[in-house]
Amino acid sequence: MADLTPNYPPAVASAVIAVMRSLGTLAKGNENKFDKYDYASIDDFIHFVRGHCIAAGLFIEPNEAAEAKLVDVAKKDGKPMAMWWSRFAFYLVHESGERAGPIFKTVMVQANGAQAAGSAQSYAMKQFMRGQFMIPTGDADDPDKISVDISAQGQSETDLQRQAGRIRRSILTAQDLNELGLAWSDNSVNIDHIRRVSDTAYDFLVSEYEKRKTVLEADA
């Protein structure tokens, strides 16, 4: 859901119209071989829009609007699945210095490891550009559709999500390898529970741990 700021300075509004006027239709040239649909990737969108934004003296400034978190949901078959929830704030900035925003985009993608954060940012940026500049993408299915049916039950924050979020924060705030080890060992009971309930959430925490360990080892 997007919360649009209605106040567009004249230079920004004029530049947005200029971009919209110059754009055509973006073809979906990539095939998702698993779900059998065509989609336009984030690189497709950037290549399609960037030159027109430059000509109009406009650029997009992306920011995180809230701390990302794991959300535990239930699929239609009753099996648990961890999702990565993110909220982004975009600004439209004109070369004159005038700017409009923040314009918010909230997305939730499957928490499938370290790439979940990048997937969420790419999806939010793509949908922002698509909506802001009203970019048609053809008659095929919507890009990045999610083929997994999610039950309405379990959409709210759960104990599993809160546990995973606290553990992730303790991992990310560890200042040395000793603190990192304690962040994992002190939460071993909860981590084991997460592993038994959601492989996806557990794999995500392991990935966050390994990334933080690599950083701390490099700083040691």
Q: How far apart are CA 25 and CA 155, in angstroms?
A: 35
Instruction: Find which of 21-30, 57-66, 146-155, 192-201 is predicted with most confidence, using mean pLDDT.
Output: 57-66
Res 150: pLDDT: 36
Res 45: pLDDT: 78
**Average model confidence (pLDDT) across the chain:** 75
Amino acid at 58: L
Beta carbons of 124 and 88 less than 8 angstroms apart: yes
Predicted structure pTM score: 0.55
pLDDT > 90 in the chain, percent: 12
Q: How far apart are CA 9 and CA 100, in angstroms?
A: 7
The predicted-structure confidence for 163-192, as pLDDT tens digits, reads as follows: 788 888 888 888 988 888 888 888 887 787
The two counts, helices (H) then strands (E), for the chain are 7, 6
**Which residue has tokens 């360990």?**
213
The predicted-structure confidence for 58-100, as pLDDT tens digits, reads as follows: 999 989 888 888 877 766 666 777 888 888 999 999 999 999 9
Beta carbons of 109 and 103 less than 8 angstroms apart: no
Q: How far apart are CA 194 and CA 135, in angstroms?
A: 41
- Of 74, 70, 68, give the one whose Cα is nearest residue 160: 70
Beta carbons of 8 and 15 less than 8 angstroms apart: no
135 pLDDT higher than 50: yes
Locate the domains of the chain by residue range: 10-132, 159-219
Report the 3 state secondary structure along 178-215. Answer: HHHHHHHHCCHHHHHHHHHHCHHHHHHHHHHHHHHHHH
Q: How far apart are CA 15 and CA 60, in angstroms?
A: 12
Q: How far apart are CA 182 and CA 184, in angstroms?
A: 5
Bridge partners for 37 per DSSP: 32
